[in-house]
Homo-oligomer: A and B are copies of this chain.
Amino acid sequence: MHIGVIGGGQLAQMMALAGYPLGLKVTCLEPTVACSAGLVTDVIVGEYDDIRQLKQLADQTDVLTYEFENISYETLAQLDRQHQFTPKRLYPTTAALRISQDRLQEKQFFEALQIPTTRYLPIDSLLDLQAAITQIGLPAILKTRRFGYDGKGQQPLTSPEDLSAVWATLENQACLLENKVSFDREISCIGVRNIQGEIRFYALTENQHKSGILHLSRVTAQQDPMTALAQTYVTRILTQLDYVGVLTVEFFEQAGQLIANEIAPRVHNSGHWTIEGADTSQFENHLRAICGLPLGATETRGQVAMLNLVGEIPPLEKMLSIPNIHVHLYGKTPRARRKLGHVTICAASQEMLNQRLTALLKII
């Protein structure tokens, strides 16, 4: 089968690399051939919302998917409505895209499914913001409803004096004010559902961010006390959306409860460890799911953690001198705050994992 991926970043690249052994070919749509996926796949050069290029991608391939949610729902929905591609040939469906790309709809969706989430209020003006603060309280976070990622489109609010300055930085976009949750852990739960409705989960990961960008994901034990609750919530989402593909939900854990933060309708940075650390990677399982193939086993292999390489890449020979670490470089030009690669660390015990992680952190 031939898969069209909207987007040509590292997620599309790792999908393509997972596809080759199965005889699944990826072509991506990206504004430039000089992209991460372009190293390993054909690229249709075009904007993500260029309907002619999207049509070309759909025409050339058997199934369409996307590697990130900040693409035009309207354009895809239009293509879908016009039956430009056969029903069920775009996975995840546009419903998942619509919800996950708008923080307001996402919150309402969580509420409808009785999944706890942060308190929030929609903000369309400075007046809204001033009124909302009195309800939500401080500290709070002001987030644009759309196009946020890696901490972009988010501003913390700690004092009432900040309001107008912060509102100005977000350039009067439609926003959401959320209460700032003090959490014990930040967790993500990655599930996958195929066309036949079969569902699998990976072990939860515990995530640490730096300046809003994922820094470290540690895979928790299969018997993590939050596993059952997280999987219940994610199953509700997968089922409600008749979802096909990999889906990630980020949660805050607070006093034994889970508070849903956001949905990513795609393979996720906190699941990169699955390439070496699980029986089947999230990339392979996403492809299997959208191609209607049986899902692969998701069991964790030993102790695993994943560290992002952001802004710069340490010397390869130094990283590779640490036993059982797996380096993934995305072929991008280094730039501040840019995800350039990741390293997966595997070990038989937590102690050994921590030693390797410490050694790695010394050279990063």
Q: Which of B13, B25, B320 contacts A294 (CB 8 A)?
A: B320
Contact status B279-A294, CB under 8 Å: no
Interface presence of A359 (CB below 8 A) = no
Contact status B294-A21, CB under 8 Å: no
A297 proximity list for chain B (CB < 8 A): 323-324
A/B interface sample: 10 pairs, CB < 8 A: A21-B327, A23-B331, A40-B40, A293-B317, A293-B320, A294-B320, A296-B320, A296-B323, A297-B323, A301-B302
Interface presence of A141 (CB below 8 A) = no
Chain A residues at the B interface, C-beta cutoff of 8 Å: 13, 17, 20-23, 25, 39-40, 279-280, 288, 292-294, 296-297, 299, 301-302, 316-317, 320-321, 323-324, 326-329, 331, 346
Could you tell me the distance between the alpha carbons of A23 and B340 in the complex, rounded to whole angstroms? Answer: 11
Contact status B20-A316, CB under 8 Å: no
Give the number of times this chain occurs in the complex, counting copies.
2
7 cross-chain pairs, A with B, having the tightest CB-CB distances, nearest first: A23-B329, A21-B328, A294-B321, A297-B324, A294-B320, A279-B324, A297-B323
A292 proximity list for chain B (CB < 8 A): 317
List the B residue with the shortest CB-CB distance to A25.
Answer: B39
A323 proximity list for chain B (CB < 8 A): 279, 296-297
A288 proximity list for chain B (CB < 8 A): 320
Could you tell me the distance between the alpha carbons of A324 and B294 in the complex, rounded to whole angstroms? Answer: 11
Could you tell me the distance between the alpha carbons of A329 and B288 in the complex, rounded to whole angstroms? Answer: 15
A293 proximity list for chain B (CB < 8 A): 316-317, 320
Contact status B20-A40, CB under 8 Å: yes
Contact status B23-A17, CB under 8 Å: no
Q: Which of B20, B299, B321 contacts A17 (CB 8 A)?
A: B20
Could you tell me the distance between the alpha carbons of A279 and B352 in the complex, rounded to whole angstroms? Answer: 15
Smallest CB separation, A200 vs chain B (Å): 11
